[in-house]
Amino acid sequence: MKFSMIYEAQVANPTPEEERRTLLEMVDQAEALDRFGFDNIWAVEHTGLTQYAHMSTPETFLAFVAARTKRIGIGHGVVCLMPNMNHPIKVAERIAMLDILSGGRVHFGVGKGGSQQEAGAFGYDLAELQPIIDEAMYLIPKIMTQDEIEHHGEFIDIPSRPIHPKPLQTPHPPIYMATTRPDSLRMAGSRGIGALVMGFGGPEDIAEKSRVYREAWNSRKPEDQVGFRPIQHLAALCPTIVSRDRDLARRVGLRGQRFFAEALAHWYQGLPKPTAYDLDADEHLAALKQLEQEKFAVIGEDKISLHTNHGYFEEVKDAYGTPEDCIAYVQRLLDAGADEILFLSQMGGVPHERIMETIELIGTEVIPHFRAQQTAQAAE
């Protein structure tokens, strides 16, 4: 079992000053994650999504974090593989360089991005991207492992070239894919790579996603393998605020969740921009339920289907609370099939001190609980 933290770099008030403050606070948090025994720090990649995600150059952020930490894993969650944005040669070079300089700590996630706002910035139609992403996904591990690469594909053309450096991990760092829907989970499983499950769905949702992913993994074909290092691994997103004060944790956590949902609805569905309101927990929950109705009206999808897939508008029991609450929630996620917990605390409107408190309490009480449990099970 692994315990990690993932970052979007959400900025409630998107001024240059607030942006700088947020990014520097994230570095402080990364150092704390390293001290308190977390396994990995993950960073997303998004372009042009004001407030929702200011993590536009994760390779720079993660390199800086690698230099400021000693042992924590460094995770791209994920690199967007649009060639105009991240050419396969440059991706392979950057991942290898970071792997060497970090001492072999890199985890390499791949994906296509999630909005036309981003795809259009680089000259693509989001609906037509998947075959381009697939070609890049299969190509990059070859670049990492071959002395020279020559590739003449449908979308990418590379004349024979030696590409340097090669990663420290052999044959290459473990590969993952961002997933939300059953088809992407099946794709990750059938291609023999890890699944980073995004979305705010609770343990029941993770259990179903784990079933879909494991079935695809167990029936995969050798010719469909991406890269040369099969990995069966399901990481579950876990929005979390932990405090000795349960009411405070619930209020702050639901505030962050509301901001996340509003920012997502703005960029993906054209609803109003988010605002970081300082209200009580029930008021935030009521606002989420109202947003749920507005979002359904815009999307025009079946309500049950959307709720099952994402869960942004529901309060998940024990996600925001005391260390004991967190332990209970994490146990449910592990029982549902999660191999790694992707804690998410850096949501818009969540103060730095609350994130640092969350990191310390998870590191001193939650992680040790499960490490002791794992040791006892191994002894038995």
* Domain around 57: 2-245+321-379
Kindly report the average pLDDT of the chain as a whole number: 92
Would you state the pLDDT for residue 301? Answer: 37
- What pLDDT is attached to residue 311? 65
The answer to whether residue 298 is domain-embedded is no
Structure tokens that stand for 153 in this block? 């594909």
Does some domain include residue 267?
A: no
Residue 313 included in any domain: no
Taking a C-beta distance cutoff of 8 angstroms, is the pair 225, 259 a contact? Answer: no
Contacts 24+ apart (CB under 8 A), 349-355: 349/12, 349/255, 349/256, 349/259, 349/276, 349/277, 349/278, 350/241, 350/252, 350/253, 350/255, 350/256, 351/252, 352/25, 352/28, 352/29, 354/241, 354/243, 354/248, 354/252, 355/25, 355/29
Structural domain contains residue 307: no
Altogether, the residues listed in the chain come to a count of: 380
Between these two residues, 267 and 20, which has the higher pLDDT value? Answer: 20
Q: What is the mean pLDDT of residues 149-163?
A: 98
Q: Which residue has the higher pLDDT, 206 or 309?
A: 206
pLDDT at 272: 85
* Range from 90-104, 234-248, 280-294, 353-367 carrying the lowest mean pLDDT: 280-294
**What is the pLDDT at residue 310?**
55
User: 264 or 183: which carries more pLDDT confidence?
Assistant: 183
Q: For residue range 66-95, list pLDDT tens digits in order.
A: 999 999 999 999 999 999 999 999 999 999
**Residues 9/23, Cβ–Cβ less than 8 Å:** yes
pLDDT at 27: 98
pLDDT digits (tens, 9 = 90+) for 293-352: 776 554 443 333 344 335 666 677 778 999 999 999 999 999 999 999 999 999 999 999
Number of domains composing the chain: 1
Check residue 191 and give its pLDDT. Answer: 98
Within a domain: 259? no
How does residue 288 score in pLDDT terms, banded at 50, 70 and 90?
confident
Average pLDDT over residues 110-132: 94
In this model, does residue 153 exceed pLDDT 60? Answer: yes
CATH number of the domain enclosing 364: 3.20.20.30
Examine residue 164 and state whether it is found in any structural domain, yes or no: yes
Judge whether 266 lies within some domain. no
pLDDT at site 200? 82
pLDDT at 286 over 90: no
Please state the rounded mean pLDDT for residues 29-56: 97
Query: For the ranges 21-35, 86-100, 152-166, 285-299, which has the lowest average pLDDT?
Result: 285-299
Residue 314 belongs to some domain of the structure: no
| CA 190 to chain centroid | 20
